């Protein structure tokens, strides 16, 4: 509080001195003071080139995977995806989520990521990546194409509901949401470090 009052007093005093010296100096001083204040109030743009976007998404996914290991989310996924299905599912899920998040960051390369829409998009992207992984993970097994076709045949409505409910049970939406929040935090931190 005292600092801002002192700065306001010094600014007023300098303006009075410039006015007393010469009117032309007054105009120049006011213009330079106004442009400095405007530059200070503008948000500094953090350009996200393709390399920085890739690094941002990869770092966010790694941190989220670390959080998932600590909070037992990975064990929960492994409980539902047992045996040899776990690694193919995780590979397809993480790859799909990375591509979706990379696309999201490329939409606004010269502006900061919007907070609310990034979180909502990340939650939806996590769910969609979970669905895509549910469809594609059998492809890595023997007779994978046949298993994929059989998995997409829903004999009853309950089977279809169970298929669309399974990514919610696997917490893929939560994984996507945590990744989005991590991405926001890292992008804000990187912007401060580059300033």
Q: 134-147: per-residue pLDDT in tens?
A: 888 777 777 767 77
My answer on whether 60 and 105 are in the same domain is yes
State the pLDDT at residue 150.
74
Look at the chain and report how many structural domains it folds into: 2
> Domain span at residue 8?
2-41
* 132 and 82 inside one domain: yes
Task: Please indicate, yes or no, whether residues 30 and 66 belong to a single structural domain of this protein.
Answer: no
One domain for residues 82 and 18? no
Cα distance between residue 85 and residue 66, in whole Å: 21
Q: Do residue 149 and residue 187 come from a single domain?
A: yes
77/147 same-domain check: yes
Q: Hunting for tokens 């945590």 — which residue is that? A: 178
Identify whether residues 30 and 54 lie together within a single domain. Answer: no
Do both 87 and 173 map to the same domain? Answer: yes
Same domain, yes or no, for 162 and 112?
yes
Q: Over the stretch 76-121, which tens digit does the pLDDT of each residue have?
A: 877 777 777 788 888 999 999 999 999 999 887 777 888 999 999 9
Long-range contacts of 98-101 (CB under 8 A, 24+ apart): 98/57, 98/58, 98/61, 100/125, 100/128, 100/129, 101/57, 101/60, 101/61, 101/125, 101/179, 101/180, 101/183
């Amino acid at each position: 509080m005292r600092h801002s009052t002192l700065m306001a007093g010094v600014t007023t005093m300098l303006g009075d001195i410039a006015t007393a010296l010469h009117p032309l100096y007054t105009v120049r001083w006011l213009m330079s003071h106004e442009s400095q204040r405007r530059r200070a109030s503008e948000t500094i743009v953090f350009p996200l080139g393709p390399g920085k976007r890739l690094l941002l998404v990869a770092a966010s996914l790694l941190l989220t995977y670390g959080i998932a290991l600590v909070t037992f989310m990975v064990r929960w996924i492994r409980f539902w995806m047992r045996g040899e299905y776990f690694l193919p599912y995780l590979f397809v899920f993480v790859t799909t989520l990375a591509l979706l998040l990379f696309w999201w960051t490329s939409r606004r390369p010269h502006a900061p990521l919007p907070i609310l829409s990034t979180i909502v998009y990340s939650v939806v992207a996590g769910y969609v990546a979970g669905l895509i992984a549910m469809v594609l993970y059998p492809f890595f097994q023997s007779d994978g194409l046949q298993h994929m076709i059989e998995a997409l045949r829903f004999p009853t409505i309950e089977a279809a509901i169970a298929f669309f409910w399974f990514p919610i049970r696997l917490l893929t939406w939560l994984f996507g949401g945590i990744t989005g929040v991590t991405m926001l935090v890292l992008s804000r931190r990187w912007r401060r470090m580059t300033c």
